[in-house]
Amino acid sequence: MNTGKVTLVSAGPGDLDLLTFKAAKAIAAADVLLIDDLVNGEITTLKAPHARVIKVGKRGGCKSTPQAFIQRLMRRYALQGKHVVRIKGGDALLFGRAGEEIADLRHAGIDVEIVNGISSGFAAAAALGVSLTHRDHCQGVIFVTAHLRDGTEPDWAALAATGMTLAIYMGASRIDSISEALGETLAPDTPAAVVQWAGTSRERRVCAPLGEIAAQAAAQQIASPAVILIGGAIGEAIVEVAARGEPLRQLSA
């Protein structure tokens, strides 16, 4: 039997309208669908009638399907000649362990195709109506995870010193320590925001100065999954809220 293939499909932040045509076609052509926990469950309505659906949830701080098991599933079905579609939330290449999966599949002689999508960081920026790279405020954006594999923290001082917009993933549970660490370099009035479930019908968001963002997020019960955005560019959202005469904490869907 001929070896099948694996397609890593980026499902985007949740809104099915944000799927690419290429992603939808890959899902419809699948023999096996491996679906991450954060993916919109309605995505299975796009599947081919014969496709087998397997949920392989992975959530920080929650019971998760082991990564090694997921990789074994992909290898097993692909080596049976099947087209395996691994559906990941956001963009597969950004904090989705795609690197480990690609290396493992290539080592097994299995072809891998990658379909890009919209990461939650961009969905969060769209929710706030801001440009992450607004040229009046910064020269770029840094995507960083607060959840490091070895348990250590990123060098927050070095990141803050860049002057770039910071898009922090998987940091909702430690927003207090993150804002405190960044506050050693950045001014307490540096604009910040937290967007939970960005790009979905459950989206909620809060905007406040860095020195207050942790307390405001807690008051609004903003929790994982969420993206933290920090930097001058985020101030554009604060300006908009002020223009509407709303308290910052009310910047929520």
Spot the catalytic one: 1, 5, 58, 164.
58
Report d(CA 236, CA 253) in Å as an integer. Answer: 17
Contact 37, 58 (CB under 8 A): yes
Q: What percentage of residues in the chain have a pLDDT greater than 90?
A: 78
Which one of the listed residues 1, 5, 170, 189 is annotated catalytic? Answer: 170
Catalytic residue among 36, 88, 104, 164: 36
36 is catalytic: yes
- Is residue 55 part of the annotated active site? The answer reads no
Residue pLDDT, tens place only, 16-70? 999 999 999 999 999 999 999 889 988 988 877 789 999 997 655 556 789 999 9
Distance CA 83, CA 100 (A): 19
Asked if 86 contacts 31 with a C-beta cutoff of 8 angstroms, the reply is no
Side chain identity, residue 250: Q
Q: Which domains does the chain have, with CATH numbers?
A: 5-115 (3.40.1010.10), 120-250 (3.30.950.10)
pLDDT of 9 strictly over 50: yes
DSSP annotation string for 179-238: HHHHTTTS-TT-EEEEEESTTSTT-EEEEEEHHHHHHHHHHTT--SSEEEEESGGGHHHH
Put simply, whether the predicted model's pTM sits higher than 0.95 gets the answer: no
Task: Identify whether the C-beta of residue 208 lies closer than 8 Å to the C-beta of residue 189.
Answer: no
